[in-house]
Amino acid sequence: MRYGCCGSMIDPAKDPIGIEIIDSLCDLGYDYIELSLSHIAALDEKEYSELAGRVLSSGLKCEACNNFIPPSLKLTGPYVDKARIRDYVEKALYRASRLGADTVVFGSGGARAIPEGFPMDMAWYQLVDFLRLAADVAQKYGVVLAIEPLNRSECNIIHNLSDARRLSEAVNKPNVRVLADYYHFAAENDSTNNIIKAGGNISHVHFSRYKGRVFPRDITEDDYLPFITAIKKAGYNGKVSIEAYTSDFINDAREALVFLKENFY
């Protein structure tokens, strides 16, 4: 296993990309950082070069990115702009790969949410088309796309591992796989059987405590064990990123890394 942390939830108002924790993560012993791709893609060339320099000099790669598509770039509904989507995906995935990312998370609830009154089946096929396009671009850069189920309060489509697996299978590209996120898993009361059935299709894991979506500290504080056990039964041995809020980053990140190493190993 490799253990990382998503930076964008630590101080989203001042640091939406999440870069300001990179040196601390390195000192604490994390393996990688996960940064917000939609914010990275919005940088001008000078800003991006400065960001890349900071990542490359830190000793810690950005092995994964979350927040793939910005909410303003709609993927479903009557006003999908395929040319604009294609241009964005090319730029974003190129930038992600230059930072060392081999995994990009497709949550992007604002972008994929179905407009009111728009047919669900049409939106589903729009997401299939989008992911096929994105997969072809991602393949050039050695990137895997991980479909993230989001709970119903954040998005109105793809809520559990079964939904994500069906979408991945419909896309039918080897670099379009699924993500298991404990917070959304708990919010949706998802089944551990869905994790096990996903098996080798799981390419990334996000983790936080469900209550408050904060950093995990102790195995007894939440019903973590069934999720972790199912992840192991699925044969997963990849990256696990903390994606959580905190008011005491250094101490929480230190204890969370101990938690991950003790329980996922």
Residue carrying the six token digits 């009361």: 189
Nearest alpha carbon to residue 68 among 177, 148, 150: 148
User: What residues make up the domain containing 203?
Assistant: 2-263
pLDDT digits (tens, 9 = 90+) for 208-248: 999 999 999 999 999 999 999 999 999 999 999 999 999 99
Q: What pLDDT does 265 receive?
A: 84
Q: What pLDDT does 163 receive?
A: 98
Q: What pLDDT does 19 receive?
A: 98
Question: What total number of domains does the chain contain?
Answer: 1
- CATH of residue 162: 3.20.20.150
Q: How many CA atoms lie within 13 A of 2 on its CB side?
A: 15
Q: What pLDDT does 14 receive?
A: 97
Both tokens of 172, joined, read: 């039918």
Q: In whole angstroms, how far apart are CA 22 and each of 43, 168, 242, 244, 262?
A: 18, 32, 14, 15, 23
Helices (H), the chain: 22-28, 37-41, 45-58, 82-98, 109-112, 120-140, 161-171, 182-187, 192-198, 224-233, 249-263
pLDDT digits (tens, 9 = 90+) for 131-162: 999 999 999 999 999 999 999 999 999 999 99
Residue 160 backbone class (left: φ over 0; alpha: ψ -120 to 50; beta: rest): beta
DSSP character at residue 115 = P
Q: What pLDDT does 22 receive?
A: 98
**In the structure, how many helices (H) and strands (E) does the chain have?**
11, 8
Distance of CA 212 to the CA centre of its chain: 19
Q: Average pLDDT of each block of 10 consecutive residues along the chain (265 residues)? A: 98 97 98 98 98 96 98 98 98 98 98 98 98 98 98 98 98 98 98 96 98 97 98 97 98 98 94
Nearest alpha carbon to residue 194 among 208, 206, 178: 178
